[in-house]
């Protein structure tokens, strides 16, 4: 299926590794012009090389997105380099373990700043251009906002906020023809996840135990599977889809635990 993304200009944040990098690669493969934003220049370079090796088009911007001014610079860079913005994928964030007992009010606030503020900042600065293109916003969430995890209040609150903003913006922006949706991953085998699992006493056993909880296939979701869904929601093929929260998780979040 042709997703009709050729020539569309899409910003992806947190684009250096994992889910973000996979989204950049799939969008570029579909013909989109992608602006990849991340705090790590080395990771951005790797993403760009991968895209260009496959014949895609990708520009990069190093940015610390906790700074609203940096978000504005990312938007300006996209317009300066490509002349328009057709889509925004808010993806950057980290499960930082700021818990109710182990954290503090200050740490909680910083976690929300790290994981949610830039969703608003990016959308705010991109909005005039998205109005002009009747574009799309896609927010990447987390199953933590639905299931809880324990010990990660800041991240859970941020991802719950991302879901709420998805529905709020879908209502607010519908008169402008802008669609807003969210993708919710659960257990995705990313470099960050792999680094965490190596901290477990028996990494192999831990991976098997976690995979066994995923009803469909008893396996982790791949970044590419998230990226394929993201490309569809960014494309004109989903032209009448807005305000939706799509879980790409092998049934982890909503299917009966007895299934595992």
16-42 pLDDT, tens digit each: 999 999 999 999 999 999 999 999 999
- Asked whether residue 198 is domain-assigned, the answer is no
Token pair recorded at residue 240: 């009448």
Task: Give me the phi and psi of 32, to 5 degrees please.
Answer: -75, 155
pLDDT per residue as tens digits for the range 136-154: 999 999 999 999 999 999 9
- Asked whether residue 203 is domain-assigned, the answer is no
- Asked whether residue 209 is domain-assigned, the answer is no
- Please name which of 202, 94, 71 lies closest in space to residue 140, comparing C-alpha atoms: 94
CA angle, corner 90, sides to 84 and 93, nearest 5?
145
- Asked whether residue 107 is domain-assigned, the answer is yes
Is residue 195 classed exposed, middle or buried when 0-12, 13-18 and 19+ CB atoms within 10 A define those classes?
exposed
Domain with 144 in it: what CATH number?
3.40.50.720
Residue 95's domain comprises 9-186+221-247
- Tell if the pTM clears 0.85, that is, is over it: yes
Please confirm, yes or no, whether 155 is among the known catalytic residues: yes
Mean pLDDT within 66-72: 97
- Asked whether residue 40 is domain-assigned, the answer is yes
Domain count, the chain: 1
pLDDT per residue as tens digits for the range 75-107: 999 999 999 999 999 999 999 999 999 999 999
Q: From the candidates 119, 155, 193, 252, which is the catalytic residue?
A: 155
- Please name which of 62, 84, 82 lies closest in space to residue 73, comparing C-alpha atoms: 62
- Whether the pLDDT of residue 259 is over 80: the answer is no
Give the separation between CA 224 and CA 210, rounded to whole angstroms: 19
pLDDT of residue 256: 75
């Amino acid at each position: 299926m042709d997703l009709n993304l050729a020539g569309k200009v899409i910003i992806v944040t947190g684009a250096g590794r994992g889910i973000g990098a996979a989204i950049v690669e799939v969008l570029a493969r579909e013909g989109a012009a992608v602006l990849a934003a991340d705090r790590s220049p080395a990771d951005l370079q790797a993403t760009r090389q991968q895209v260009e090796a496959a014949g895609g088009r990708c520009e990069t911007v190093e940015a610390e997105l906790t700074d609203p001014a940096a978000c504005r610079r990312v938007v300006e860079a996209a317009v300066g380099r490509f002349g328009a913005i057709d889509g925004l994928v808010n993806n950057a964030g980290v499960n930082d373990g700021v818990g109710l007992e182990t954290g503090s009010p200050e740490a909680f606030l910083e976690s929300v700043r790290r994981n949610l503020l830039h969703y608003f900042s990016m959308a705010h600065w991109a909005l005039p251009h998205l109005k002009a293109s009747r574009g799309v916003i896609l927010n990447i969430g987390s199953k933590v906002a639905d299931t809880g995890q324990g010990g990660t209040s800041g991240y859970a609150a941020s991802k719950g906020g991302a879901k709420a903003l998805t529905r709020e913006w879908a209502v607010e922006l519908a008169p402008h023809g802008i669609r807003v949706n969210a993708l919710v991953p659960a257990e995705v085998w990313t470099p960050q996840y792999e680094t965490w699992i190596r901290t477990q006493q028996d990494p192999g056993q831990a991976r098997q135990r976690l995979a066994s909880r995923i009803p469909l296939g008893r396996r982790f979701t791949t970044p590419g599977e998230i990226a394929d869904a993201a490309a569809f929601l960014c494309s004109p093929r989903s032209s009448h889809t807005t305000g939706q929260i799509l879980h790409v998780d092998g049934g982890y979040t909503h299917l009966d635990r007895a299934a595992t």
